[in-house]
Structure formats: C-alpha cells, structure tokens
Structure 1
C-alpha cells in the first residue's frame, strides 16, 4: 500500500487560487540532511463541497509512510521545509503536512469540529480561526495565519510490523 506524505492546503472556492498556490511550490527542490535530493510536485483538485485543494508531494522520498525511525526523522525535516515555504505562499484557508492528509477535513467539517482541532501543524487563516473561536489556542505562523506548531512525524512499530501487531493481539486476547 502506498502512503503519501504531503502538504495539503484548502484554497477556497476559486480554482485560480489553488493553481496559484501550486505554482508557488512547483520546482521546489533541495537536499535533506542524509544527502537525499528531493523535488516536489503540486497538483490541484476539487473536493465534494466543490472547494479547491492543492497537494504538494515530495518526489523520491518515501511511499511507505513512516516505516522506520529514519523515515520519521527525514519526513519531519521535509515537513519543516514545507512549512517554511508555506509561510510565503499565496492565500489559502487552511493547510496541514503529514502522511495521508489529503482532504483531512472539508470546510464544513472543519467548521463543525471547531471544538476538536487537535491537529499539530494545522495552519489556519486568521479569519477562519476567529470564525471558529480558536484564535487564542493557536500561535502566530505568518502574516495572516496562525497554527498549532508541527510536532514532526512519528515511528510507531505497531502500525508497520504485522509480527508485532500479532503479538500484541495475542497479549490483548489474554484475560
């Protein structure tokens, strides 16, 4: 199974906003601390509510998510780089970096779940944070945006090892 690590940003109702956002990230490239070169690709798509998203995916990094502690470190490093580039991005409503974060919440879901926005790394436009009544629980991110600081990616052996999961299931079956 392929696990996609990306930055996903909801850009509102205008396709042009998402395309402008994607253009900001197109051709972004660099070298990680392990000397792995990366380049990102950005694509736009529309959700069920007809809002436009941009997905920014690093190429040549991983398609297995966080399968090792080393993956967690490198994806965290890459996540920080994506957030740094996001600070100068064209307007968007909200964004998040992580594994499988595409359409993590539609706009109406975000509004409905405003009392439970425990997404480390979630960046909100200040207008949306005010509308949700969460401005005081977020920290400044960049001009016009606030966030819950990114905590990095984590390695969880029970999620990636069928053998360990099987042993845990046996342990849980006792008693």
Structure 2
C-alpha cells in the first residue's frame, strides 16, 4: 500500500483556482539537509462535492509511511518548506500537510462539524475560520489565513514493528 506525503489544498468551486495553486508549486525543488533533492509535482482533482483540490507531492520521500525516524525528520523538513511556500500561494479555502491528507475533509464535512477540527498544521482562510466560530486555537499564518501550527511528522515504532507490538502485548497480559 502506498502512503502519500503531500500538501493538499481545497480551492473552492472553480477549477482555475486549483490550477493556479498548482502552478505556484509545480516543479519547485529544494535540497534537503541530508543532501537529497526533492521536486514538487502537482495534481488537480474534484471531490464528491465538485470542489477543486490541488495535491502537491514532493519527490524522493518514502511512500511506505513513516517507518523510520529519519523519514519523519525528512517529511517534517519538507512540511516546513511546503508551509513556507503556502504563505505566498494563490487563494485557497483550507490546506493541510501530512501523510494521506488528500481530500481529508470535504467543505461540507469541515463546516458542519460541531467543533472545529484539531489538525496540527491545518490552514484556514479567515472566512472559513470565522464561519467555524473563530477558534482561538488558530494563529495568524499569512494575510487572510490562520492555522494551527504544524507539529511535524512522528515516527511511532509500535505502529511499524511487529516485534515491538508483540513485546508490548506480552507486557499487557496480566500474570
């Protein structure tokens, strides 16, 4: 199973908005702290509500999820770079960086939740933020946008190691 690390942004009802957003990222490249180069590739698509999304995928990153601590570090570094570039992006309604965040919430799902969702790294347009009750959990991100600050990606050995899971299971058995 492939696990995509990306920036996903919901751009509203107009395809041109998602295409302009994609152009802002497509082909952008960085040299990471480990010396590896990563280049952004974009995809534009419509969700079931017919709103347009742009997914920005950096190259050279694991597609197996976060199975080592160095992968978490690399994804976090890329996440910070994506958020830095997002600060000057064309208009969008909301966005998030992470593993498997493509189409993480439709607009209706997001705006109909009883409480504002808590996703570290979630960036909201101020209009969306106000419609959700203007939660104080959000901080200024860039002109017209607020966010819950990004916390980076996390390596969880118990999620990827059957050996460690078995050892933990043995600990949990009452003797």
| Mapping of residues 96-107 of structure 1, within 5 Å | 96-107=96-107
| Mapping of residues 118-129 of structure 1, within 5 Å | 118-129=118-129
Q: Could you tell me how far 1:173 is from its partner in structure 2? A: 4.7
Contact 1:114–1:134, Cα closer than 8 Å, also in 2:
no
Using the alignment, how far apart are the partners of 2:33 and 2:130 within structure 1? 38
Q: 1:61: which partner in 2?
A: 61
Query: Following TM superposition, where does structure 1 have runs of at least 4 consecutive aligned residues deviating by more than 3 angstroms?
Result: 169-175
Q: 1:164: which partner in 2?
A: 164
Count of aligned residue pairs for this structure pair? 175
Using the alignment, how far apart are the partners of 2:110 and 2:156 within structure 1? 27
Using the alignment, how far apart are the partners of 1:41 and 1:80 within structure 2? 17
Q: 2:87: which partner in 1?
A: 87
CA RMSD, 1 decimal: 1.3
Contact 1:2–1:63, Cα closer than 8 Å, also in 2:
yes
Distance 1:114 1:128, change over 3 A: farther
Contact 1:72–1:154, Cα closer than 8 Å, also in 2:
yes
Unpaired stretches in structure 1, ≥5 consecutive residues: none
Q: 2:136: which partner in 1?
A: 136
Q: 1:19: which partner in 2?
A: 19
Q: Could you tell me how far 1:114 is from its partner in structure 2? A: 5.1
SS at match of 1:137: coil
Q: TM-score, normalised by structure 2?
A: 0.95
Unpaired stretches in structure 2, ≥5 consecutive residues: none
1:152 aligns with 2:129: no
Q: TM-score, normalised by structure 1?
A: 0.95
Contact 1:135–1:146, Cα closer than 8 Å, also in 2:
no
Using the alignment, how far apart are the partners of 1:172 and 1:49 within structure 2? 45
CA deviations 1:82-136 (Å, max 9, x no partner) are 0000000000000000001011111111012251411000000001100111343
